[in-house]
Amino acid sequence: MALTRRVDELQAAVKPYVRLHSETLSAGNHPSMLVCSVYSFYPKHIIVKWVRNGQEVTSDVTSIDEMADTDWYYQIHSHLEYTPRSGEKISCKVEHASLSEPLCLSAHLSVYPSLPESERNKIAIGASGLILGLILSLAGFIYYKRKSRGQEPV
């Protein structure tokens, strides 16, 4: 009875949950990978496209076929290999029966991604230590020069 009820619930279309993320972090002209993961949708038929600066991308795209989740829904993962260019806009476009219009998630890319907060903190602490060391060295040098002027040779 529970199985029949679950199958009846799945007769209606279920909207997908979409996540766009970078699988590898890179800078400059090295290839990187964007992944568009689409989860928990029903029915199985779905279209996942990549759009770069308004133009549909068909090369360097790999998709893993729709897979059944343990809860009777489906998921799919599409990968786009790209070379980062500053200011470039890449989108993952999902078309499904549960959506009245296509769902687009965009990634605004930078050639030099910002550092995580922990890395920024390490750099700030290191720079502060360097500046403090330079100030103390300069103060010691000035003190030494003043003391050496005041003494007469014996």
Domain check: are 100 and 126 in the same one?
Answer: no
Query: Cα–Cα distance between 100 and 88 in angstroms, integer?
Result: 27
Q: Which amino acid is at 52?
A: R
pLDDT, tens digit (0-9, with 9 covering 90-100), for 83-107? 777 778 889 999 999 999 999 998 7
Q: pLDDT value at position 32?
A: 82
Helix (H) or strand (E) holding 9, with range, is helix 2-9
Structural domain for 122, as ranges? 114-154
CB atoms within 10 A of CB 146: 9
**CATH classification at residue 47:** 2.60.40.10
Same domain assignment for residues 99 and 118: no
Answer whether 0.75 is exceeded by the pTM: no
Instruction: Indicate if 96 and 152 belong to the same structural domain.
Output: no
Closest CA to 108 of 18, 16, 20, 19: 20
DSSP state, 42? B
Same structural domain for residues 97 and 146? no
